[in-house]
Copies of this chain bind each other. A is one copy, B any other.
Amino acid sequence: MGWKRKDLLSLQDLETAEIQDVLDTADSMREIATRDIKKVPTLRGKTVVNLFYEASTRTRTSFEIAGKWLSADVVNFSASSSSAEKGESLLDTAKNIEAMSPDVVVVRHKASGAPALLARHLRCAVVNAGDGAHEHPTQGLLDLLTIRQKKGHLEGLSVAIVGDIAHSRVARSDIHGMRKMGMTVTVAGPPTLIPPACQELGVKVSHRLEEAIAHADVIMMLRLQHERMESGLIPSLREYSRIWGLSLDKLKHCRPDVLLMHPGPVNRGVELSPEVADSQYSVILDQVSNGVAVRMAVLYLLAGSQAA
């Protein structure tokens, strides 16, 4: 009820009631995955185009399954094998796709703001599936959905986000979403990977992992990109892992009901020890399942709710 937006570009844009709306819709979508026949006719005759300028089989597959379970036609348009190589601009490619009358274009692009640019110029709905170091709103939403599912509520919970905050679109969407839902957020990581303006987002900054996670209800460990080492932002993977990686030993000092989350894919032995990834604290695979439910909700709200 009441969803009015044409696009989903960021969680920074959304109001609390809108986030609530997506989460409630996703809750009802989640049930579909448990059915014997995982198919509803909601988006029959609607067309979803996955326009991916960065390889991401995982997120693309999640959107593809979400669309198909809703009976939409899903078309994958991988920009590496496309006109991008022939020098066509992003906007020209997108306008060409729009001319084929899709209802939703799901776009991933290495440039922050690319989905917003498309949203301004296209009449169809645009979903940001990750843009540069800006936002990855469906990831932020699936993280909220997972926490709400496990904890029963969001308001008042305390979250530690650990790792490469500076380059993480996941961290940015999480921070915006969690703050809007009344949660307390602490970010922690090497000083080179914490953006200076971080406090303006309403988060606390910690430079010790143990301190950041001590009282957290949720620990979100971010993936360390190997490029960070090459560019000199961390001294070595081994040192990073020793100081900022999460081991069972470090987890012992946390709340016994702490949730361990990770946006995937996990670098086992870097940000998480293998035992932690497979421990009873981990809800990493719940995040993946909830990803399909959140994307069904988003596709439904953007393309199907008028018809309802």
Interface residues of A (CB under 8 A from B): 33-39, 44-47, 49, 55-58, 61-62, 64-65, 68-69, 73, 75, 77-79, 81-83, 85-89, 92-93, 95-102, 226, 264-268, 277, 285-286, 288-289, 291-292, 307
Cβ contact within 8 Å between A47 and B65: yes
On chain B, the residues within 8 Å of A285 by CB distance are: 95-96, 98-99
Cβ contact within 8 Å between A57 and B83: yes
Question: Which chain B residue has the least Cβ–Cβ distance from A34?
Answer: B101
Cβ contact within 8 Å between B93 and A62: no
Which of A33, A87, A99 has most chain B Cβ within 10 Å? Answer: A99
A21 to chain B, nearest CB (A): 22
Name the 6 nearest CB pairs between A and B, nearest first: A37-B45, A57-B82, A99-B288, A88-B265, A39-B45, A83-B265
Question: Which chain B residue has the least Cβ–Cβ distance from A33?
Answer: B101
How far, in angstroms, from A259 to B201 measured CA to CA in the complex?
51
Which of A39, A101, A102, A291 has most chain B Cβ within 10 Å? Answer: A101
On chain B, the residues within 8 Å of A289 by CB distance are: 99-101
Cβ contact within 8 Å between A61 and B75: yes
On chain B, the residues within 8 Å of A36 by CB distance are: 45, 307
Instruction: Report 7 cross-chain contacts, Cβ distance below 8 Å, ordered by A residue.
Output: A38-B73, A62-B100, A65-B101, A88-B265, A89-B268, A93-B265, A95-B285
On chain B, the residues within 8 Å of A88 by CB distance are: 264-266
Cβ contact within 8 Å between A46 and B57: no
On chain B, the residues within 8 Å of A68 by CB distance are: 47, 73, 75
